[in-house]
Structure 1
Amino acid sequence: MKDKIIVKNKDYAEPLNSVLIDSFQVTKTVNQSWQIQFNAYDDKSVAFSLLQAQNSILWRGQEFIIKQIQPTYANSLNTTQVTATHIGYEVQRVFQHNVNTGTKTYSVNDVLSFYLNGNSFDYTWEVRGSFDNQQIENLGNANGQDMLSKITSTWSNAIITFDNKKIIVYSSDDYYQDKGKVITYLGNTNQVQLTYDSTNLVNKLYCISDNSGDENSKPAFNPFYVQDDESIKKYGLYEGNPVSDNRFNNADAMRQYALSQLQPEPSLSIQVQFNANNEDIDTGEIRTLIIPELNLTTKVTVTQVTLYPLSDTQQSQAQLDNTAKTILNYNNSLQNALSGHVDTTTNINTTISSAIASNQDEINKINSALKQQSQAVTTDNGTITYTLNTGVVYVYCNFTDIVANKTSFNVPNGFVPNNTINGSLVINESGTNYIINYTISSTFDIKSIYSLQNESVTELNNQATGNFSYLI
């Protein structure tokens, strides 16, 4: 089973069966982090006892190292929150004490080889894509994490990811791939948040030759400015701090670098929450973002994901890029929308008044129809009552002698939701908490019932009462 979670140390490797599945979270951010987090309850197993710092979690073929554990004791139940980071980041254990003194020219592979060749922790590497050689001063006397930072700061198009202890450095052109998938507002997502921020706007920079601390050496080039005239025309002048870098010993190279450091447009951050928990999305994807209300269709790259791969209820989330083209498309959409609003503003009050007057009778009929309906289904295993009130179905449950994974109630016509609803209901009966996992489609199906009592979680055939609600 690909989703089996294994906990291991140097002596044992055991499957962990006490994970609370809705809490199991995977987060991945380009060039920053890759980790899993979850809560587990104490089922007195060897696996639970292995949830200790620096032990490993194996999941979907990748190894993660436990970095944080947070035990909690409440209501006679012992649970532990676990945070584990990908073993690739343990490359910080590699330390290169030697130093290549002076300013020298390196490829990405040269840097990786200098730090990792012959390391005692079994880290390997691979470079995918094309990178220009760059100059680096005094390389070495640092650990493997500093090596990764040196690569991403020296090569702005470098993307670093891992396959266990293999470090893979991609060029951005090789990492980001368009597989033809889309993100559509009111399609596979009902929530798209766009954050437009001009705090770090910079459209002019002063470039200075770096003499590397030698006051007597001659500058490689005379100081000069670079600027973005279109940005200055649109927003006014925003000058950043002077730029100097000893990697560039001629004005043309420095000019190209400085232009890449400008931020002539406000940044655009896009966050998406998908309608389904099983949205198959990962960093490195290029997707088409469609927001019909803005007439916006643009390509975006996925730079961060938060996934709940074991849950039936938690929704996948993604952070999208803020490339110059995306921002331009967004600006054009806003401008077109503004023009359309201006054209219709003079008639809007008349239009609204007319619409209300012509539809008031229909509104009254709808409200009357939704006031309240109620139906009940009774079986040998219990009773379930459905009450419809202003668009919300309230489901009142009275279950007796339920057999887990077998109980099913027919849902009355008129109360069937448009889509399957999966949920987990926690109720309290005589001091004992019960977790009822259920699915609603054309039937109401009890998937399982667990009792939380005396520091244990037990799947059982027992009594449970409670109520909950869902939107139709």
Structure 2
Amino acid sequence: MTTYAKNKVIIQSHDDKTTQVLSGLDFSTFQLTITKNEAYQLDFTANDDGSVGFNLLTVENIVIYDGQKYVIKQVTDDNTDGKHTITVTAMHIFYQLNNIFQFNVKTGDNSFTLTQALKFLFNGVSGGYSYRINGTFNSSKTLTDFGNTSVVEGLSTLKDAFNVYAIVPDNMTINLYDEKSYVKKTYKAFRYRHDTSSMQLQYDSSTMVNRVQAVSTAETPAFKPFIVQDNDSINKWGVHDGARVESDSITDTNAMKTLASQSFILEPTISITVVSTENDGVAIGEQWHVLLPDSALSTAVEVVSVVTMPLATTAVQVTLNNNRSNFLDAQRVKSEDLKQASGKSSMPMWVIGEV
């Protein structure tokens, strides 16, 4: 593929016959959003300068930026007060796989390795797409009636079945990673008021699960339905039921308990969002530290989303992962803050959950 300067935005017709630099781009509107396993997207507005590039801004044409191809999916053609602009949303070319299907089906229950499942999913798929496995996925999994699906939906099925940590497109090559191969330690830190102007911590208990029902769905059930629960989490947070866990092949109740417990989310999650000046120095998959000196919070976090305006500003909005260790670090700090606040107050205090 032709190499283009990073600060150039190229527009290409979907038949590859016409390629032009977008000279009318409003740099202040150019936004790149990358979120792990979710979004690879460009948004921008261009002014009508009569150029070929401007007139190529129509759906299904290609935007090329920083070596990656994005397909224009939404266009707003705006004429206001004598000014003609076009606003564009373009999705990474990976998402064309939403509209490319594997129509064949492996009927019934079939055992696959990840390599075998990907080979089946991509067999005969048009468009020149390929895949690459990064890391170790040794175990085989049983997939039921696998096929008759878009490739993106098929990849989602494999992600869940094989515990694929991240799916990252590189143009038409789809990379699948285990956690060890994906997360990169940087030994860098976001320090509030030093290189980070804004830091938000969002807590969420809505996804918690600490009790489920285990059910055998074999033709002759191997055991009666029973409850699997985590008592420590229930004692701390109350009961949070999840969907029942079924298996038509497990006959041992201990093995079923292990399977059921894999659906647990025992603590609330925490999502940390920061605004940093480290524009070129932040990428998804990197591990940073977050430091909030006023409350002594220090926790290791993975960058899961980056939103940048790379052609207009050095500021970058970064969302960091919400795992159990991050939540416990934050809770430790909040407990200390509560103790200090309680010691300073001479007024009676309300305690949540008690009257």
| Equivalent-residue separation in structure 2 for 1:108 and 1:133 (angstroms) | 7
Match of 1:173 in 2: 180
| Equivalent-residue separation in structure 1 for 2:213 and 2:253 (angstroms) | 12
- The SS at the match of 1:180 is strand
| Equivalent-residue separation in structure 1 for 2:261 and 2:205 (angstroms) | 18
Q: Is there any run of 5+ residues in structure 2 with no aligned partner, and where? A: 348-355
Residue 273 (structure 1) aligned to one of 268, 275, 299: 275
Alpha-carbon contact 1:134-1:247 (below 8 Å) kept: no
Residue 136 (structure 1) aligned to one of 105, 126, 143: 143
Cα-to-partner distance string for 1:292-323 (whole Å, 9 max, x where unaligned)? 1221111111111111110137x310111111
Match of 2:291 in 1: 290
Match of 2:20 in 1: 14
Amino acid paired to 1:51: L
Residue 70 (structure 1) aligned to one of 76, 81, 84: 76
Higher alpha-carbon Rg: 1
| Equivalent-residue separation in structure 1 for 2:34 and 2:250 (angstroms) | 34
In 2 relative to 1, CA 40–341 (structure 1 residues): closer, same or farther, beyond 3 Å?
Answer: same
Residue 30 (structure 2) aligned to one of 2, 24, 33: 24
> More deviation in 140-149 or 90-99?
90-99
Amino acid paired to 1:324: R
In 2 relative to 1, CA 198–92 (structure 1 residues): closer, same or farther, beyond 3 Å?
Answer: closer
Match of 2:350 in 1: none
| Equivalent-residue separation in structure 2 for 1:256 and 1:283 (angstroms) | 31
Match of 2:206 in 1: 199
Identical aligned residues as a percent: 31
| Equivalent-residue separation in structure 1 for 2:344 and 2:166 (angstroms) | 47
Are 1:325 and 2:329 counterparts?
no
In 2 relative to 1, CA 253–181 (structure 1 residues): closer, same or farther, beyond 3 Å?
Answer: farther
Match of 1:61 in 2: 67
| Equivalent-residue separation in structure 2 for 1:163 and 1:201 (angstroms) | 34
Amino acid paired to 1:146: E
In 2 relative to 1, CA 245–191 (structure 1 residues): closer, same or farther, beyond 3 Å?
Answer: farther
Alpha-carbon contact 2:200-2:272 (below 8 Å) kept: yes
Q: C-alpha displacement at 1:246, in angstroms? A: 4.3
How large is the Cα RMSD of the aligned pairs?
Answer: 1.9
Match of 1:223 in 2: 225
In 2 relative to 1, CA 297–208 (structure 1 residues): closer, same or farther, beyond 3 Å?
Answer: same
Alignment of 1:25-64 (within 5 A): 25-64=31-70
In 2 relative to 1, CA 46–248 (structure 1 residues): closer, same or farther, beyond 3 Å?
Answer: farther
Amino acid paired to 1:76: G
Alignment of 1:244-393 (within 5 A): 244-246=246-248, 248=250, 250-274=252-276, 276=277, 278-312=279-313, 315-346=315-346
Q: C-alpha displacement at 1:245, in angstroms? A: 3.9
Match of 1:154 in 2: 161
Cα-to-partner distance string for 1:151-207 (whole Å, 9 max, x where unaligned)? 122233431111110011111221111111111111211211111122333221111
| Equivalent-residue separation in structure 2 for 1:100 and 1:68 (angstroms) | 36
In 2 relative to 1, CA 250–50 (structure 1 residues): closer, same or farther, beyond 3 Å?
Answer: farther
In 2 relative to 1, CA 229–134 (structure 1 residues): closer, same or farther, beyond 3 Å?
Answer: same
| Equivalent-residue separation in structure 2 for 1:20 and 1:248 (angstroms) | 59
Q: Is there any run of 5+ residues in structure 1 with no aligned partner, and where? A: 212-216, 348-472
Q: TM-score, normalised by structure 2?
A: 0.90
Where relative contact order (Cα < 8 A, 6+ residues apart) is larger, the structure is 2
Alpha-carbon contact 1:135-1:247 (below 8 Å) kept: no
In 2 relative to 1, CA 134–221 (structure 1 residues): closer, same or farther, beyond 3 Å?
Answer: farther
| Equivalent-residue separation in structure 2 for 1:15 and 1:141 (angstroms) | 40
Q: TM-score, normalised by structure 1?
A: 0.69
| Equivalent-residue separation in structure 1 for 2:114 and 2:96 (angstroms) | 20
In 2 relative to 1, CA 163–253 (structure 1 residues): closer, same or farther, beyond 3 Å?
Answer: farther
| Equivalent-residue separation in structure 2 for 1:277 and 1:180 (angstroms) | 14
Amino acid paired to 1:318: V
| Equivalent-residue separation in structure 1 for 2:95 and 2:10 (angstroms) | 20
Match of 1:232 in 2: 234
Alpha-carbon contact 2:164-2:176 (below 8 Å) kept: no
Equivalent pairs, count = 340
| Equivalent-residue separation in structure 1 for 2:230 and 2:204 (angstroms) | 18
